């Protein structure tokens, strides 16, 4: 050990350690702190991370539907799970994120994740409960707590209503220039507009050649150097009629070249025979290993038309091909006929066959992993204890994103 140089210790050994351990080691002395918090060390540690292995650095970021708070599920408790649900105790212990720009008068949304960084959207609200009027965007590292980058203000009004589904976001990284980019698209207007922010230039600029005839649905997922969205071709006569235009395709924005491309694939949603059947827009999700999948929800009426009793069926489709071409086959269908009922897929797959869902048992939401290969839930009765207190009992889980902790500092980007 006496013969080991600093280069061997820091670049050969420490860069292979988990982020949580390295955060503690930075307190050893000033030299260790300087090395571990340097941008060069953070880049090497990212390269040495093994994405195929579930580690204590993996976490799930969760949002809530009503009061728009942010929680995380650190998987230090469920990393050793053996598939039978015995060790998936992380579901009982969600942690509310204590982000530095938090206040009682803000709504928070997680819009994207890349290299351990989260793109967070903040709305200011007031006591009167009026709609949010002011938007702020941050790039934040949840592992480094107070380390974040505030994106410069921009006049957003001309892009559409940010408190609706009219705007699509994307967040990605150009590894050739080490440049992080934030994309904002007016997703449903016939006159598409888009802007992009880059950490190297620290400015916003317009995106040229935004596809004018495409509806973007939801926020994008960064995979293989590009941000991917589900898209739907606009038809002037069918622009407002979801039921007459059911074909979908994938559109992506190459982060390096800043060019748009389309990926056609067979995702034709079947219409039901039930006169009262409803169907929600398909949603894109991503597995921990960077594989994309699609899920959509169907509500089938059962009983008298006036009793508003619906069964819920959540269909999950996946394509095993790397470039996402070809037919997307259904890998599972989650039904609300079980007890407790499956309410929503939360857009996170820990493995290719294990999906995070929220369950509704009549007394509030629960969280569960569902192993659809074996056709059973890994957790069925894991009540989220932090939500059992009276102020939080009606909280509903909404969107979720997988994130792997890193040492990348938003403040030091470019």
* Tens digit of each residue's pLDDT (9 = 90 or more) over 363-385: 566 777 776 665 555 443 333 33
Instruction: For the chain, count helices (H), then strands (E).
Output: 4, 26
Q: Could you give the CA distance from residue 323 to residue 314 in angstroms, rounded to a whole number?
A: 25
Q: What average pLDDT does the chain have? A: 71
Residue that is written with structure tokens 């799970």 in the block: 81
Report if pTM > 0.85.
no
Q: Could you give the CA distance from residue 80 to residue 100 in angstroms, rounded to a whole number?
A: 31
At 150, the pLDDT band (50, 70, 90 cuts) reads very high
Q: What is the mean pLDDT of residues 61-87?
A: 61
Q: Which pLDDT value is given to residue 401? A: 83
Tell whether 141 and 201 lie within a shared domain.
Answer: yes
CATH of the domain at 387: 2.120.10
Q: Which pLDDT value is given to residue 280? A: 62
Q: Which pLDDT value is given to residue 87? A: 45
Tell whether 87 and 168 lie within a shared domain.
Answer: yes
Write the DSSP assignment of 127-184 as a string of letters. TT-PPP-EEEEEEE-TTSSS-EEEPPP---GGG--TTTTSEEEEEEEETTTTEEEEEE
At 21, the pLDDT band (50, 70, 90 cuts) reads confident
What SS3 state is found at 315? strand
Q: Which pLDDT value is given to residue 340? A: 60
Q: Are 108 and 63 in contact (CB under 8 A)?
A: yes
Q: Are 73 and 361 in contact (CB under 8 A)?
A: no
Tell whether 38 and 96 lie within a shared domain.
Answer: no
Among 82-86, 167-171, 390-394, top mean pLDDT goes to: 167-171
Residue 20 predicted with pLDDT over 70? yes
Residue 93 predicted with pLDDT over 80? no
Per the structure, the complete domain to which residue 126 belongs is given by 49-412
pLDDT digits (tens, 9 = 90+) for 177-220: 999 999 998 866 666 788 899 999 999 998 888 876 777 778 89
Side-chain-side CA neighbours of residue 330 (13 Å)? 12
At 346, the pLDDT band (50, 70, 90 cuts) reads confident
Q: Which pLDDT value is given to residue 104? A: 76
Q: Which pLDDT value is given to residue 336? A: 62
Which H or E run includes 309? none
Determine phi and psi for 346, rounding to 5 degrees: -100, 25
Q: Which pLDDT value is given to residue 402? A: 83
Q: Which residue has the higher pLDDT, 301 or 344?
A: 344
Residue 357 predicted with pLDDT over 60? yes
Residue that is written with structure tokens 């890193």 in the block: 406
Q: Are 283 and 294 in contact (CB under 8 A)?
A: yes
Tell whether 44 and 60 lie within a shared domain.
Answer: no
With the C-alpha atoms ordered 407, 409, 410, 414, is the resulting torsion angle positive or negative? negative
Q: Could you give the CA distance from residue 232 to residue 249 in angstroms, rounded to a whole number?
A: 6
Q: Are 177 and 255 in contact (CB under 8 A)?
A: no
Structure token digits, residue 220:
């994008």
Least confident segment among 11-25, 71-85, 389-403: 71-85
Instruction: Provide the percentage of residues in the chain whose pLDDT is more than 90.
Output: 14
Tell whether 305 and 166 lie within a shared domain.
Answer: yes
Tell whether 2 and 131 lie within a shared domain.
Answer: no
Tell whether 209 and 265 lie within a shared domain.
Answer: yes
At 308, the pLDDT band (50, 70, 90 cuts) reads very low
Residues 6+ apart with CB under 8 A from 393: 363, 364, 387
Q: Which pLDDT value is given to residue 39? A: 83
Residue 127 predicted with pLDDT over 90? no
Tell whether 159 and 43 lie within a shared domain.
Answer: no
Tell whether 26 and 167 lie within a shared domain.
Answer: no
Q: Which pLDDT value is given to residue 412? A: 83
Q: Which pLDDT value is given to residue 78? A: 45
Residue 227 predicted with pLDDT over 90? yes
At 117, the pLDDT band (50, 70, 90 cuts) reads very high
Q: Which residue has the higher pLDDT, 171 or 288?
A: 171
**CB atoms inside a 10 Å sphere around CB 349:** 25
Structure token digits, residue 235:
């038809």
Tell whether 186 and 133 lie within a shared domain.
Answer: yes
Q: Which pLDDT value is given to residue 82? A: 43
| Count of structural domains, the chain | 2
Q: Are strands 283-287 and 341-351 parallel, antiparallel or unpaired?
A: parallel
Q: Which pLDDT value is given to residue 241? A: 44
Tell whether 30 and 158 lie within a shared domain.
Answer: no
Return the ∠ at Cα 102 (arms to 100 and 103), rounded to 5°: 135
Instruction: Provide the percentage of residues in the chain whose pLDDT is more than 70.
Output: 57
Q: Could you give the CA distance from residue 31 to residue 35 in angstroms, rounded to a whole number?
A: 6
Tell whether 56 and 125 lie within a shared domain.
Answer: yes
Among 377, 347, 373, 371, which residue's Cα sits nearest to residue 359? 377
Q: Could you give the CA distance from residue 111 to residue 121 in angstroms, rounded to a whole number?
A: 7
**CB atoms inside a 10 Å sphere around CB 230:** 22
Q: Is 311 exposed, middle or buried (0-12, 13-18, 19+ CB in 10 A)?
A: middle
């Amino acid at each position: 050990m006496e013969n080991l140089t600093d280069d061997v210790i820091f670049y050969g050994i420490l860069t292979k350690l988990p982020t949580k351990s390295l955060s503690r080691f930075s307190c050893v002395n000033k030299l260790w702190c300087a090395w571990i918090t340097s941008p060069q060390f953070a880049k090497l540690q990212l390269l040495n991370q093994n994405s195929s292995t579930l580690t204590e650095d993996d976490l799930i970021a969760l949002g809530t539907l009503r009061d728009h708070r942010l929680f995380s599920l650190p998987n230090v408790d469920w990393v050793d799970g053996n598939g039978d649900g015995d060790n998936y105790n992380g579901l009982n212990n969600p942690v509310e994120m204590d982000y530095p720009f938090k206040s009682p008068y803000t709504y928070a949304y997680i819009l994207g994740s890349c290299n351990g960084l989260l793109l967070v959207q903040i709305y200011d609200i007031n006591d009167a409960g009026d709609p949010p009027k002011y938007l702020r965007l941050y790039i934040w590292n949840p592992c480094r707590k107070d380390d974040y980058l505030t994106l410069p203000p921009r006049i957003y009004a001309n892009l559409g209503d940010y408190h609706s589904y009219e705007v699509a976001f994307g967040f990605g990284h150009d590894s050739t220039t080490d440049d992080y980019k934030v994309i904002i698209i007016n997703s449903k207007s016939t006159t598409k507009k888009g802007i992009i922010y880059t950490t190297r230039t620290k400015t916003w600029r317009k995106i040229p050649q935004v596809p004018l005839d495409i509806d973007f649905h939801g926020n994008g997922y960064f995979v293989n150097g590009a941000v991917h969205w589900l898209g739907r071709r606009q038809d002037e006569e069918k622009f407002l009629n979801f039921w007459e235009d059911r074909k979908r395709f994938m559109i992506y924005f190459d982060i390096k070249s800043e060019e748009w491309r389309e990926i056609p694939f067979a995702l034709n949603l079947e219409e039901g025979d039930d006169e009262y059947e409803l169907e929600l827009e398909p949603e894109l999700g991503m597995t921990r290993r960077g594989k994309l999948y699609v899920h959509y929800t169907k509500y089938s009426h059962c009983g008298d038309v006036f009793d508003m009793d619906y069964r819920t069926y959540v269909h999950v489709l996946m394509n095993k091909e790397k470039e996402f071409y070809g037919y997307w086959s259904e890998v599972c269908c989650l039904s609300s006929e079980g007890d407790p009922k499956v309410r929503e897929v939360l857009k996170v797959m820990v493995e290719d066959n294990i999906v995070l869902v929220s369950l509704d048992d009549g007394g509030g939401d629960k969280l569960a992993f569902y192993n659809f290969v074996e056709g059973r839930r890994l957790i069925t009765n894991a009540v989220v204890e932090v939500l059992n207190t009276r102020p939080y009992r009606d909280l509903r889980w909404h969107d979720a994103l997988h994130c792997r902790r890193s040492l990348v500092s938003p403040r030091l980007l470019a």
